[in-house]
Amino acid sequence: MTSEEMHARTGVAYGGALPQLARRIGAAEGWRRAGLALLLGLLAAGAMPPFNLMPLLFLAFPGLVWLIDGRSWRGAFVDGFVWGMGFYVPSLYWTSEAMFVDIAQFWWMVPIALLGLPALMALFNGAATAVANRIAAPGIGRILALAVVWGVFEWLRGHLLTGFPWVLIGYTWSGTAAPLLAGLQSVSLVGIYGVSLLTVLVAALPARLGDAGRPILAPALGLAGLAVMLLWGALRLSDGPDPLVAGVTLRLVQPAFEQMAVSTRDLELRRFYHLLDLARSPGADKVTAQIWPEGAVGFPLNLDANARAAIAEVVPKDGVIVTGTIREQPGAGDDFKAWNNISAIDGTGRLVSSYDKFHLVPFGEYVPLHKYLQFNQIVARRFDFSTGPGPSTIALGPLPPAGPIICYEAIFPHDVIDEAHRPAWILNVTNDAWFGTSTGPYQHFAIARTRAVEEGLPLVRAANTGISGVVDGHGRVLNSLGLGEAGVLDVPLPAGLPSATPYGRWGDLLFLVLIFVTGGIAMALARRR
């Protein structure tokens, strides 16, 4: 009897404990297998903001590789799907909180948000594991293939059916700890999808330790690559804080208005007067401009001269107030249109610039196929918003030109500014009150912060209930107001990088190069096997 046969018969792993663990995970069946896949996905969820426990991925992805090794592609699809459910349910549970604002009407959507949306997202993970299983044999080739197809399917998730690129694996680097901030710098080269590909690759390579003989070359090379990535990021940050724009101080207003199912004119007026009081609070004479959050003014400023006149009274001298509002085109029936809007008002009450949101939230700001789906949006206003023209750069009086984005638009890489007319900063207004004190607002802030690093531009964010703050073009949070706090924050405006980042210039081109290089190596290894 050979030593391999003896070890197999006695159940002792040939080559050590990790190969034994790998075989046991791969051989699990039934509820044990499903439980393992769910647990591994749950571990990966802990690596997402606001926790950012990145080392958990070194457990979640080797375990996933061991699960799909030795399975058919159909079995690998099931493993990836169940892993995805373990990942997305705790990562996206907060979407169901919006239904509780008007639970009497939207109770039936709670299970759809809590389980249906994660199931839809998990299909992409199942597809990724099935494809990786189909095109590459177990070993280094399969790990390379998994990283490539994972990145591709995250990109598809961000583009198909209007796209939902939330909790991408690359966002594990979006924390504020120094090593995470250094790792985040790579999005300025390959974008968040490219960083996801590299992160999956590095995190999955330790699966090779489950092979007999403990092959450590691949994991060691992965850790070396990770070290290079972190070192490059640290060098990029080593010049210290970004310079500030001289003579510009911004007041971010965070009123912390409670989200209501139904709004009234009286309620909107009370809130409007509260905003004016916050605008006048001590220090107002020292700011250049004020930023109010999404929907702060609940009536159409383009049609309400009285409201503009009231705002004009608190506009900083020679400055502007920029606020989230709605813009309406009067009319009956289909002639009526409304936009989720950012408007800037000067000291004379004049609208000096305007921006209409173009990435609308399905079922929140409009109902797809509304002609056939006869139910209301999950907002207090019962009409579909119209779509704006797309990213733009707007002039804001004494401020440098800005690239405005409203709420949900911050999640779309390379689609937040007009690259042909590069602004000096990114202006983000949002209302995350729908999601209470859940992890959703923290994730949203981390995602918006990543856009600043991708584009090399500072981000100024005013949120109704938080998190408001200012982030420089390297992703450093200079100041912020926490979730649920009410008040104002007076902050300087950092300067952007002198030129566009590689990702700002070329978008996902370098991500595509990563796909071809990594995929080519995987295919070459597959042919060699």
Residues catalogued as catalytic? 294, 357, 407
CA 147 to each of CA 68, 143, 207, 208: distance values in angstroms, whole numbers, following the listed order: 14, 6, 13, 14
Are 234 and 374 in the same domain? Answer: no
Are 202 and 85 in the same domain? Answer: yes
Predicted pLDDT of residue 9: 44
Predicted pLDDT of residue 527: 72
Its domain, for residue 318, covers: 249-496
Give the integer Cα–Cα distance in Å for 503 and 417: 12
Are 145 and 270 in the same domain? Answer: no
Are 299 and 422 in the same domain? Answer: yes
Any domain includes 382? yes
Give the integer Cα–Cα distance in Å for 256 and 251: 15
pLDDT at 291 over 50: yes
Any domain includes 378? yes
Are 371 and 483 in the same domain? Answer: yes
Are 256 and 186 in the same domain? Answer: no
Any domain includes 3? no
Output the domain CATH number for residue 330: 3.60.110.10
Any domain includes 373? yes
State how many domains the chain has: 2
pLDDT at 371 over 60: no
Inter-residue contact 427 to 491 (CB < 8 Å):
no
pLDDT at 12 over 50: no
Q: Phi first, then psi: give them for residue 468, nearest 5 degrees.
A: -95, 150
Are 234 and 255 in the same domain? Answer: no
Any domain includes 5? no
Give kind and range of the element (H or E) at residue 320.
strand 320-329
Tens of pLDDT, residue by residue over 139-150, are 899 999 999 999
Tens of pLDDT, residue by residue over 165-218, are 999 999 999 999 999 999 999 999 999 999 999 999 999 999 999 887 667 888
Q: How confident is the model at residue 87 (pLDDT cuts 50, 70, 90)?
A: very high
Are 93 and 176 in the same domain? Answer: yes
Any domain includes 7? no
Q: Are strands 425-430 and 459-463 parallel, antiparallel or unpaired?
A: parallel
pLDDT at 378 over 90: no
Predicted pLDDT of residue 377: 53
Q: Are strands 394-396 and 425-430 parallel, antiparallel or unpaired?
A: unpaired
Tokens representing 20 are 């034994």
CA 178 to each of CA 74, 181, 201, 284, 505: distance values in angstroms, whole numbers, following the listed order: 41, 5, 22, 34, 27
Give the mean model confidence (pLDDT) for residues 215-229.
92
Q: Shortest CA distance to 390 belongs to which of 407, 404, 378?
A: 404
Tens of pLDDT, residue by residue over 438-494, are 999 999 999 999 999 999 999 999 999 989 999 999 999 999 999 999 999 999 999
Any domain includes 280? yes
Predicted pLDDT of residue 368: 65
Predicted pLDDT of residue 498: 92
Are 229 and 327 in the same domain? Answer: no
Are 305 and 395 in the same domain? Answer: yes
Any domain includes 8? no
Mapped onto helix, strand or coil, the DSSP state of residue 406 is: strand
Are 316 and 421 in the same domain? Answer: yes
Are 162 and 215 in the same domain? Answer: yes
Q: Shortest CA distance to 358 belongs to which of 404, 320, 323?
A: 404
% of the chain with per-residue pLDDT over 70: 93
Tens of pLDDT, residue by residue over 337-354, are 999 999 999 999 999 999
pLDDT at 528 over 50: yes
